[in-house]
């Protein structure tokens, strides 16, 4: 198949050709929009179809949260669109949430390729119907960051090449980019330079792509899709608060991430969950020591409770054994450690009642901020450029590097929120104003591409 760009003087032969050429010529948001003319006896064109690839994991509420967040934005800003959600693997937890909250969204399954089998079935039909294809938020467009599995690279890039061959505009929404080990850079740069847009959820990723000479017409900051989340399970959330003895507005949420494997992992584990080395075990001890200081100071200063909440399934075990069980008995009496996992909607209903949130992971904090709750993020640099998200939306004073910042600085930031809560709430609102402005601008580009 030919993957060469069309000659500059080529005339568009279809609507998709026109949109692709128009977008490649754009340098800002000025994507030409086609007018629809009503002609007697001839129906207007069908509603645009948007194909969204999303939902990476059912065992992490951040990976769940990307999907309802971006779906809500698509429904809000492009209400006329038919939306198809592609799950390469079944995601029963996420799918139950989507069916409940987005009844008009159609879900399709299937791998893009499997040995000698190419695109087929419902997934093939979805691509044939698509007016634009979007790869949703995450950090899957990397090679050598967590592993060197070449099949993973190809599984992510193959749909883009299909879109190029079939004149389907495509883009990436709320991505972070960290590493292109050889020989991946040439491949990523080739195909992604011909995307209609790349919205990076952190400005460091924008710089990284531009420094590596990606030529995509739109490479800009666009918040993680999870910022759009608004789904709740009030029945479960309120029941849990009653069971745990947590009062609305009177508890701190704490979310940790440890150097520990998935609960069902064997051998070395995978991704960000290796079998911990002695150095990583020491790292965990130092990090959790700072979190213990925060919990102690919060309880003794405010008299309020603490909820240790899981963003990833595995932390229902390790947060208890490595943090909660190590607290002094006098402090432990004011701390609740959730030992069962939950979906994003139940978590949202609990987070909505929190006073403040602290986390080593970003997505629970994104959910909290979307609800208007002040947050403090103390992230490990190893987790990549996504760690700059909170700086980029205007709250750098709530962002720390946990391995470098003294415990007093992290605890001080949380207690400053407590001491001047009105100001902190206003900061949270201002940060979300930045997010919502960018959501509106990014969705305007998707809308014009889909028409």
* CATH number of domain containing 69: 3.40.50.11720
DSSP letter string, 57-115: -SSBHHHHHHHHHHHHHHHHH-TT-EEEEEESS--HHHHHHHHHH-TT-EEEE--S-BT
Q: Give the torsion sign (CA, 288, 293, 298, 299).
A: positive
Residue 223 has pLDDT above 60, yes or no: yes
Does residue 112 form part of some domain?
A: yes
Task: For 161, list phi and psi in degrees, rounded to 5.
Answer: -65, -35
Residue 3 has pLDDT above 50, yes or no: no
One domain for residues 421 and 440: no
One domain for residues 138 and 261: no
Residue 33 has pLDDT above 70, yes or no: no
Burial 243-278 (b: 16+ CB within 10 A, else e): eeebeeeebbbbbbbbbbbbeeeeeebeebbbebee
Half-sphere exposure of 241 (CA within 13 A, CB side): 22
One domain for residues 412 and 365: yes
One domain for residues 248 and 389: yes
391: number of Cβ within 10 Å: 16
Structurally, the chain folds into a number of domains equal to 2
Does residue 4 form part of some domain?
A: no
Q: For residue 45, what pLDDT is reported?
A: 60
One domain for residues 199 and 246: no
Does residue 139 form part of some domain?
A: yes
One domain for residues 55 and 121: yes
Contacts of 54 (CB under 8 A, 6+ apart): 66, 67, 70, 85, 86, 87, 136, 137, 225
Does residue 7 form part of some domain?
A: no
One domain for residues 419 and 445: no
Tokens of 254: 């704490």
Residue 222 has pLDDT above 60, yes or no: yes
Does residue 90 form part of some domain?
A: yes
405: number of Cβ within 10 Å: 16
DSSP letter string, 323-379: TGGGS-HHHHTTEEE--S---HHHHHHHHTT-SEEEESSSHHHHHHHHTT--EEEEE
* Per-residue pLDDT reduced to its tens digit, 330-345: 999 999 999 999 999 9
* Per-residue pLDDT reduced to its tens digit, 228-287: 999 999 999 999 999 999 999 999 999 999 999 887 754 443 445 567 899 999 999 999
One domain for residues 337 and 211: no
Does residue 6 form part of some domain?
A: no
Please state whether the predicted TM-score (pTM) of the whole model is above 0.95. Answer: no
* Per-residue pLDDT reduced to its tens digit, 103-137: 999 999 998 888 788 889 999 999 999 999 999 99
How confident is residue 191, by pLDDT bands cut at 50, 70 and 90? very high
One domain for residues 221 and 258: no
One domain for residues 319 and 443: no
Rounded Cα distance between 209 and 193, Å, is: 10
Provide the CATH number for the domain around residue 304: 3.40.50.2000
Contacts of 136 (CB under 8 A, 6+ apart): 52, 53, 54, 55, 66, 67, 70, 173, 174, 225
One domain for residues 440 and 390: no
**What range defines the domain where residue 65 resides?**
15-34+46-229+435-450
Does residue 3 form part of some domain?
A: no
Closest CA to 342 of 418, 233, 253: 233
Closest CA to 69 of 370, 438, 374: 370
One domain for residues 426 and 440: no
Rounded Cα distance between 224 and 370, Å, is: 12
Rounded Cα distance between 9 and 4, Å, is: 14
Does residue 106 form part of some domain?
A: yes
Rounded Cα distance between 238 and 236, Å, is: 6
Task: For 254, list phi and psi in degrees, rounded to 5.
Answer: -125, 125
The predicted model gives 360-365 an average pLDDT of 97
Q: Give the torsion sign (CA, 363, 365, 366, 367).
A: positive
């Amino acid at each position: 198949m030919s993957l060469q760009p069309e000659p500059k003087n080529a005339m568009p032969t279809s609507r998709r050709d026109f949109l692709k050429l128009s977008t490649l010529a754009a340098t800002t948001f000025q994507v030409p929009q086609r007018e629809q003319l009503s002609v007697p006896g001839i129906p207007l064109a069908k509603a645009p179809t948007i194909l969204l690839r999303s939902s990476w994991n059912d065992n992490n509420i951040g990976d769940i949260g990307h999907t309802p967040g971006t779906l809500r934005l698509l429904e809000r800003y492009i209400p006329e669109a038919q939306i198809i959600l592609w799950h390469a693997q079944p995601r029963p937890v996420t799918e139950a949430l989507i069916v409940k909250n987005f009844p008009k969204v159609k879900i399709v399954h299937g791998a893009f390729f499997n040995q000698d089998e190419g695109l087929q079935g419902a997934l093939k039909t979805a691509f044939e119907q698509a007016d634009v294809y979007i790869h949703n938020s995450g950090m899957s467009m990397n090679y050598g960051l967590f592993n060197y599995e070449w099949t993973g690279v190809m599984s992510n890039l193959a749909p883009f090449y299909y879109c190029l061959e079939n004149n389907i505009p495509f883009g990436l929404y709320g991505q972070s980019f960290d590493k292109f080990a050889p020989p991946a850079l040439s491949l990523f740069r080739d195909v992604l330079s011909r995307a209609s847009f790349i919205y990076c959820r952190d400005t460091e990723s924008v710089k990284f792509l531009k420094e590596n000479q990606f030529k995509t017409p739109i490479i800009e900051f666009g918040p993680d899709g999870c910022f759009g989340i608004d789904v709740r399970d009030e029945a479960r959330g309120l029941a849990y608060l009653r069971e745990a003895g947590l009062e609305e507005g009177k508890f701190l949420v704490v979310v940790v991430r440890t150097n520990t494997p998935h609960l069902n992992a064997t051998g070395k584990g995978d991704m960000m969950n290796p079998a911990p080395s002695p150095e990583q075990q020491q790292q965990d001890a130092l990090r959790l020591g700072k979190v213990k200081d925060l919990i102690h100071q919060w309880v003794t200063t405010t008299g309020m409770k603490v909820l240790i909440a899981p963003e990833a399934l595995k932390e229902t075990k390790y947060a208890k054994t490595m943090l909660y069980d190590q607290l002094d008995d006098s402090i432990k009496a004011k701390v609740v450690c959730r030992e069962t996992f939950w979906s994003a909607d139940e978590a949202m209903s609990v987070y909505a009642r929190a006073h403040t949130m602290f986390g080593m992971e970003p997505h629970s904090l994104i959910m909290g901020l979307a609800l208007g709750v002040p947050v403090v993020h103390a992230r490990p640099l190893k987790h990549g450029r996504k760690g700059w998200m909170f700086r980029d939306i205007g709250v750098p004073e709530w962002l720390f590097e946990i391995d470098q910042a003294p415990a007093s600085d992290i605890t001080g930031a949380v207690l400053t929120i407590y001491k001047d809560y009105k100001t902190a709430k206003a900061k949270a609102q201002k940060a979300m104003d930045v997010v919502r402005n960018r959501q509106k601008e990014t969705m305007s580009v998707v809308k014009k591409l889909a028409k």
